Amino acid sequence: MRLTFLGTSAGAPTTERNVTALAVALDDSRSWYLVDCGEATQHRLLHCRYTLSRLKAIFITHVHGDHIFGLPGLLSAAVMQGRKDPLTICAPEGVELFIRQAFAISTQDCPFELIFIRSDHCEFSYCDNDVTVTSHGLSHRVPSFAYRFSEQAVPPRLNENKMAALGIPQGPLWGQLQRGEAIKGSDGQVIFPEQVLALPPKKRVVVVGGDNDQPKLLSHVLAEADILVHEATFTEAARKQVGSQWMHSTAKQVAKAATLAALPHLILTHFSGRYRLNAKPEEESVELLKLEAQRYYQGNIILAEDFATWQLQRNKKLVSLGYCSKQLSG
């Protein structure tokens, strides 16, 4: 599974980061999903390999502006680019009204169907041929949710070395075994599928959190997860200065939740504008968040960057694929 960060700033953009948006795709597929859509997300996409015609669904974590104000523009761009296929938008209450009103006020028609699904309902589930997505409640100033992306089960494949050892030629017999049917070998011996089928790879699971001041709420969701993408808006010291009324997580809180879940990979994002990538002596570096997290979590910690892409491989290793601008020709 592949994650491309289109915006990693909290509340408002900075000169280094845009507000929240994340592209999720299944490996090298051009089809993709969008989690949150802060202002100017459509502009960020101009630097990436993903197009609005191949967008399968949008998932909105909550209704705050830095997570939804890019939606009207992005959908308008899809109209102008000639999209015809229906588009599913999974979101809590308020998002459908926001979009419908924006189109009504701008007197723009939408030629493709918008399918809204309330993700704040307890029975919510999105499913297609590639992934199953569920929502999980968080703690914030408005209803906020995490989305758990689970890869669909991969069917077992034939072990070619075993097939060769049993003298089974390529052709219809391979298809029968792949379908779970027993066959007879050239010597009349019955060969069962379990003799030649390799174990399927384990499903990959990624959890993407919305704004949340209680990461421990995700403990049950992270049981089989490979990656948690979660906000770390402040360090502990910064939150003591600004107060807890904004209901955001610190790097320490997220790290402790990841440790409790024995999570392999943690990606921190949604950083306050006070933290800089290239901090001057009088400024605070974003590295302070990573340093704080490392004191409470010994797994793999990544600080999200705008346009950075990470690939969760089938062996569950997390590999950097660099930045969007270098992938456009891929």
Q: Give the pairing type, strands 55-59 and 32-37.
A: parallel
Helix, strand, coil percent content, the chain, rounded in steps of 5: 25, 30, 45
Cα–Cα distance between 255 and 299 in angstroms, integer?
9
* Crossing angle of the two packed helices 71-80 and 95-105, in degrees rounded to 10: 50
Spatial CA neighbour of 177 closest among 161, 156, 199:
156
Cα–Cα distance between 311 and 139 in angstroms, integer?
29
Catalytic residues: 66
Cβ contacts of residue 238 below 8 Å, gap of 6+?
250, 272, 274, 284
Q: Where are the beta strands (DSSP E) in the chain?
A: 2-7, 21-25, 32-37, 55-59, 87-91, 114-118, 126-127, 131-137, 145-151, 183-184, 190-191, 205-208, 227-231, 265-269, 275-276, 284-285, 300-303, 308-312, 318-323
Spatial CA neighbour of 209 closest among 1, 36, 14:
36
